Amino acid sequence: MKTAVGTAKTNSIAAAFSDFKEITKARLAVSVVFSSIAGYFLGADELSWVSIALLAFGGYCMVGASNAYNQVIERDLDALMDRTKNRPIPSGRMSVNQAMTIAISLTLLGVVALYYLNAQTAMFGAISIFLYTSVYTPLKTKTPLAVFVGAFPGAIPFMLGWVAATNDFGIEPGTLFMIQFFWQFPHFWALGWMLDEDYKKGGFKMLPTGKKDGATALQIIMYTIWMILISVVPVFGITGSLQLSVPAAILVFLMGMVMLIFALRLYEKRDNASARKLMLASVSYITLMQLVYVADKLI
What are the pLDDT digits (tens) for 133-178?
A: 999 999 998 998 889 999 999 999 999 999 999 998 999 999 999 9
Residues 6+ apart with CB under 8 A from 229: none
The beta strands (E) that lie in 161-256 are given as: none
Question: What CA–CA distances, in Å, run from 211 to 189, 194, 261, 270?
Answer: 11, 12, 21, 11
Q: How confident is the model at residue 15 (pLDDT cuts 50, 70, 90)?
A: confident
In contact, 217 and 266? CB cutoff 8 Å: yes
Q: Taking the model in full, what pTM does it have? A: 0.90
What are the pLDDT digits (tens) for 83-113?
A: 888 899 999 898 999 999 999 999 999 999 9
**pLDDT of 202:** 86
The residue extents of the domains of the chain are 1-168, 170-299
In contact, 233 and 252? CB cutoff 8 Å: no
Which CATH number applies to 1-168: 3.30.565.10, 3.40.50.880, 1.10.357.140, 3.50.30.10?
Answer: 1.10.357.140
